[in-house]
Structures are given as structure tokens and as C-alpha cells.
Chain A
Amino acid sequence: MTDMTADENHILRAEKITMRFGGFTALNNVSVAFPEGQLTAIIGPNGAGKSTFFNVISGAFPPSEGRIVFRGREITGTPQHRFTRLGIAKSFQITNVFPQLTALENVRFAIQCMSQRFNIWTPRNRYRVMEEQAAHLLEMVELHQHHHRLAMNLAHGEQRALEIALALACDPSLLLLDEPTAGMSPEETIVMMDLIIRLAGERTVILVEHKMKLVMGISNHLIVLHHGELLAEGTPDEVRANDEVRRVYLGQGEH
């Protein structure tokens, strides 16, 4: 299913990433390539370095060593705000929306960021297109009934969906999701997983997930981190058959 040899098939490459915090090495020489148009899940037990790895590839902070290459272009150290214009968007592990703006205003702002950053003159309600786009995105994440509700008054699952809509506002070719189902009820988790599968049909998705079971069925490609190192990668079947992975996960009481 995946072709790991040809480089043009990889949208993002992380080369020899090492991340140190003081004396602690959170990531040690991790090299991973992410196949284009596929859903890749980064998994691993607690403290494996998943979130650190996510933050490095999403540009929250530069790695201590190593390079990040997006579509053949090095983006290591590129400021965070440029990522959306490259076509890379992310959602945060902890719900991160604009609480006192309505759902529609939230998404409209994210859309506006792509074209009208320093316009201090034109009234914003003159941009009908932005509003229509925002409405369209809200429909995509099934929040079309909540246009005018403040984000803070939405349910947890709805807020997470709203955050996905914010990420989609730049029409990213690469969508990075950090534990998109964290803190969700089983019902909300199912809805979110459906949404992620739909999104993955149109773009490359990389997601970090703690629960291995959850991503086994939907991912094309899996990356397993353990103690800051790359433990295994491959298709779900390959990873499931990997002895090392079984040992690590069974040791954690999860399978």
C-alpha cells in the first residue's frame, strides 16, 4: 500500500531529529518520512516523545539537531505563522479556540488570516466570500447549527471539531492533529474518527494518538516511538506483527 522508496511520494521528511531539554533527551536521532495523501499515525506509550515530535514537525519549536523538509524544501526554524501559507495546519492537544468569539467568527478569522492580515480599512462584513467559506467549513465538521454560539459554550467534542475547522481554513495539503480525541466520550470519539477518515480522503493527515487500537483501523501508515526513539514503522499489519511493539504495548497493558 505504501511506497517508501521514491522520495517524491513523501510530503514531509524529518531527518535525524534530536530534541534536548536541558540534560533530558526527548527525541534521539529520529528519521521518518511521511507518505503523501495518506493517513499516518504516530503512536507510542506515555513519555515516548510523541508530543515533542509533533511540536517539532509542526514548527512550535525548532529541533536541537536535524532538519524538517516539506515538499523538498527545508522548513526547520520557519516561524509558526508561515506554516499555514505553506499549506500545513495543526490542531492542538488541548482544545484551542477563541472562546469569546462565535463559531462563525472563529472560522472566519482563520480564513481571513490567509489574505487580509493587515487590512485596517475595509469593513470585514464586506467579505461575503469569507463568511460563506466559514459556513461551509462549519458544515463540514457538522457545526452548521451553531454559527452564532460562542465557542466557550460549545460541548467539548464540538470545540474540538471547531478547532479542526480552524485548521482547515487554510485548505492545508498537510493536516497535523495532536490527539484529536483526547478527553472525548466514546460517542464523540466515533464522530471525530469519521471526520478524520473523511478529511484523509482529500489530504495528507498526520495524527498523534495514545490509543493504538483507535488508529489501527484507519491509518495507512504507523510510526511507533518509544523512549524518544523510532521503534518501528510500517503498515498497521506490519506494526502489529512487530515483537518489539508488542512487548512495549503489552508492558503498558494495552494491545
Chain B
Amino acid sequence: MTLANPQEELKGSGRRLAGVVALMARHRVLAVLGFLLVFPFLLPYEALAVNILIYGLFALGFNLVFGYMGVLSFGHAAFFGLGSYATGIVIVHYGMHWFPAILVGAVAAGLGAAVIGALAIRTRGIYFAMVTLALSQCVYYLVYQLEDLSGGENGLRGVDVYDLGLPGLELTLLDPLTKYYFVFVFVALAVWLFSRILASPFGAVLEALRENEDRARACGTNVALSKWLAFVISGLFCGLAGSLNAIHLTIVPIESLHYHTSGLAVMMSLLGGMGTFFGPFVGALTFLVLEDVITLVTVHWQLFVGALFVFFILFLPRGIWGSFLRWASR
């Protein structure tokens, strides 16, 4: 009898927490954006915050096929890189204004995803991962060879967008906080769009494909076409992340296209929690802050991140946010 009260209390606080989580889930876009709005003031310097924003968006786009549809792609560097290079090239070589240049980047990545997706979508599991990996490496070498356009090994330099040239506003990206909110506006739009897609009937198709592809087909889902569409949408989001990265860094390093970058998306999604809305940003935050902190101590930071990654796979396969959700709703 004496135990009954504390248990009740525990249950009560658990319910409160579950209530908060449910509220956040209902207003997931506002929750993410509210946090990201004050985010740069919580970090030692803004450039790190911008990185987290961009890689969070990259992981978000990747998570559409990986977490929500349950398909592991190992070629998403291609879309991040294509977005970066397309934006960079039209700015550097054609003097295009930054706004259409960013759209060009996202669309170029979407087209890349349409082609790679069409070739890869009929394979499953490990074969899909391998085909996307191979095709993304093709893109890497193609861009590497196009030295006149892409700058080859040195990367593309001179993506200098400083003065935004917005009428009535004196905004320059040389100010780190301005740059953060510049990127934030695009990320906010993307997060809202992403949430809208997840809530749509097509979002239900993604879940159904993850849960049971055969049953989805028997219900009348064109599995190949739906997967392809999801892949293209994912490519658009990752391309946008790449475009923003080109403007953020003012260069496009060739490493953007390297399979290393694909691995980053996988790691961030898993660390944060695959198939959760907040997971990608939590994953990007964890990964990049750890990288930043550990490099102060040792150059072998990857060793520690690797160990952490293994720890998560073995003990917390739902990732940080996924485990938190489970704990809150226990």
C-alpha cells in the first residue's frame, strides 16, 4: 500500500512527459524550427551551427528512404554533391543569382536521383546499397574528370555569395549569424515540406512499403514507381542541403561526392534515430559536436566516433531520439 503512491507519482510524471512528446509530435515542424531558431546561441560558434543545420537537412532527406521507407541507399553523397556542384557551377561560371542557383542545385540532384533511382530501384537490400554506391562513385569520377567545370581535384572555388542583394535589406553572409538565418529559412521551408509529405497519403505508402512490401503490392501499390518517387524526393532534399553547403563554404570540395559523405548520412540517421522526425537533426548535432570537441583533444577523433557508433548499433539501435521516444512512452 505504501508503494502505491510513489508508483502513481512516477506514472503521473511519465504521463506528463508522454504528453509533451505527443504535443511535440503534433507540432513537429514548430518544435524543430523553434529549437533551431535559438540554436546558434547554444553553441560556441555559428559555423558549427550552420554545419549542423545543413547536415541535419541532408540526413532528413536521406531518412525519407532509409528510415521511413526502410531502404538503405549508400549513394546519397551523389545528391548532396550534385546539389553543391550545380549551385556552385551556375554561380561561378554563369554568374547566376543565389536564389535560382539554389533551386538549380536541388533540381540537378533530383534529376540525378531520378536516373540513379531508375537503375537501382528494382534491386533489394544489400544489392540496392551496392548499386547506389557504385553509381554515386560514377558521379564522383565524372565530376572529377570535368576539370574545366568542376575544378577537379581542387574542388570548385569562388562560390562567393556575400551580399544577398535583397531590396531594402543590407544583409551580408560575412556575418555568421546572418548566414545561419539565411540557411535556416531554407531548412525551415524544407522541414515544413517534409512534414507535409510524411502526413500525406504518400507518407502512408512509405510506411506500408517499410512494413510489408508484398502486402502493399497486393493492396494496389505500384511498388517500383512509389520507391522511385520517394528516392527522387529524397534526392531533392539532399540536393538542397548540398546547395546550401556550397554557399556556406564558398567552395565545393570534391569530397562532397565521396562515399564518405554517404556514410555520414547513414551514421547521423542511425545516431539520431532512423524513421523519427527529430532524429536526423539530433544525429547531425551529436556527430558534429563530438567531432568538434574530440578534435580539440586528439586528431584520431574518428576512432571515438566509430566506437560510439558501434555502441549505438549494439545497445541503442533506435538511436538517441528513437530511444528517448520509447522511454517516454513506456
Contacts and interface: CB of A to CB of B under 8 A. Distances in A.
Interface of A: 79-85, 89-90, 92, 96-101, 105, 108-110, 112-114, 116-125, 127, 166-167, 169-170
B233 A120 contact: yes
Is the contact region of chain A dominated by helix, strand, or loop, or is it mixed? loop
Given A96-B212, A101-B211, A166-B215, A84 B200 contact: no
Contact of A99 (B211, B219, B220): B211
Interface in B221-249: 221-223, 225-226, 229, 233
Given A96-B212, A98-B208, A98-B212, A120 B221 contact: no
Given A84-B220, A85-B220, A96 B204 contact: no
B93 interface: no
B220 A121 contact: no
A100 to B, nearest CB: 6
Contacts of B226: 117-118
For the complex of A and B, 4 pairs with smallest distance between CB atoms: A84-B220, A116-B201, A98-B211, A113-B220
Interface string B184-208: 0000000000001101111111011
B212 A112 contact: no
B220 A109 contact: no
Contact of B220 (A81, A98, A100, A123): A81
A208 B220 CA distance: 22
A89 B219 CA distance: 8
A99 to B, nearest CB: 6
B134 to A, nearest CB: 28
A214 B218 CA distance: 26
A118 B229 contact: yes
A182 B201 CA distance: 32
A117 to B, nearest CB: 7
8 contacts: A92-B214, A97-B215, A109-B207, A110-B220, A119-B202, A120-B196, A121-B196, A167-B218
A71 to B, nearest CB: 18
A38 to B, nearest CB: 23
Nearest to A115: B201
Contact of A109 (B197, B199, B208, B214): B208
Contacts of A96: 212, 214-215, 218
A98 B207 contact: yes
A81 B223 contact: yes
Given A81-B220, A82-B220, A120-B197, 14 more contacts: A81-B221, A83-B220, A85-B220, A90-B218, A98-B211, A98-B215, A108-B204, A109-B207, A110-B219, A110-B220, A117-B220, A122-B201, A124-B201, A166-B219
A109 B218 CA distance: 12
Contact of A119 (B201, B211, B220, B223): B201
B27 interface: no
B212 A99 contact: yes
B141 to A, nearest CB: 33
B211 A84 contact: no
A92 B222 CA distance: 18
Contacts of A84: 218-220
B217 interface: yes
Contacts of B199: 123-125
A34 B152 CA distance: 66
